[in-house]
Amino acid sequence: MSIIMISRGAHHRGKEVSEKIALKLGFECLSRGILLEASRKYDVPEVKLKKSMERAPNFFEKLGFEKGKYISYMRTALLSRLKKDHIVYHGLAGHVFVQDVSHAFSVRVVVDMKDRVQYCMQSEDVSEDKAYTMLQKLDEQRRKWGLYLYGVDITDPDQYDMVININRLTVDEAADIICSTAGLEKFQTTTESQQKIEDFALEAEVKAVLMNVQPPKDVSAHNGIVSVQVQGGMFADDNIAGMVEALSRSVEGVKEVRTEVLPYIQPFE
């Protein structure tokens, strides 16, 4: 079949639509559970992972790599589950992780702001002005998050296969439209598309195991062959390549590691 990636902002009813799609198709529905899996696997508090996926980095975070590390953990956990197929995922920018995977059907669910404000007032028990301010702030943070990390505006409709406004639709009607489109031949899993997502998952896991020791500049994988680029240190260190290879080989599915150590560049004073 396919995997369905639902992108939605706060109080966009995307959760309801996603759960209905999963029920209709007999798919597994994923969202917050990915946070818990990543939290347990990498021993990181769930709240830190949640913030890394929702809030744009501040000045100090841009200087370090903590935020990138947490997002790497999240990406690993999500892609590991998406390899299984028959998944509906709803969350922030999940579609970015599966670009170029032909059986990944990405959908943006939108709702008019006035309806989002009403829903936020009820669910958060806040005033209309407070709800509007909260939503504006969240929307801007998430937009900045996408721009900083991936150079994409997650509100841009060109990022998605479908954008659906459910103001005039019931949850069932919206789910029916998405299910029908997901059934098209172009969104069915092929040998090539399955290999693509397995390559992405392997890349992500190798990057995650390297993050605390030797954060890589780039990682790519194909059929178990992993290529890693790392920045060299100030002094020549023959151990860097060996350490990267050993850590990378600890990941299940890695058959061969090709390491490129980039020369150290003295920063300008």
CATH of the domain at 109: 3.40.50.300
* 251 and 167 within one domain: no
User: Do 183 and 224 contact (CB within 8 A), yes or no?
Assistant: no
List phi, psi (to 5°) of 161.
-75, -30
User: Do 222 and 193 contact (CB within 8 A), yes or no?
Assistant: no
* 155 and 101 within one domain: yes
pLDDT, one tens digit per residue, over 185-206 is: 999 999 999 999 999 999 999 9
pLDDT above 60 (res 14): yes
pLDDT above 90 (res 32): no
Coil, helix or strand for 265?
coil
pLDDT above 70 (res 233): no
Mean pLDDT of 7-23: 86
CA dist list (Å): 46 to 175, 198, 209, 211: 30, 25, 18, 18
User: Which pLDDT band holds residue 6 (cuts at 50, 70, 90)?
Assistant: very high
pLDDT at 58: 58
Count of beta carbons in the 10 Å neighbourhood of residue 192: 10
* 220 and 182 within one domain: no
pLDDT above 80 (res 97): yes
* 61 and 22 within one domain: yes
Count of beta carbons in the 10 Å neighbourhood of residue 172: 12
pLDDT, one tens digit per residue, over 174-183 is: 999 999 999 9
* 222 and 129 within one domain: no
Q: Does residue 73 lie in a domain region?
A: yes
* 161 and 38 within one domain: yes
- For helices 171-182 and 14-25, the axis angle rounded to 10 degrees is 50
User: Which pLDDT band holds residue 107 (cuts at 50, 70, 90)?
Assistant: very high
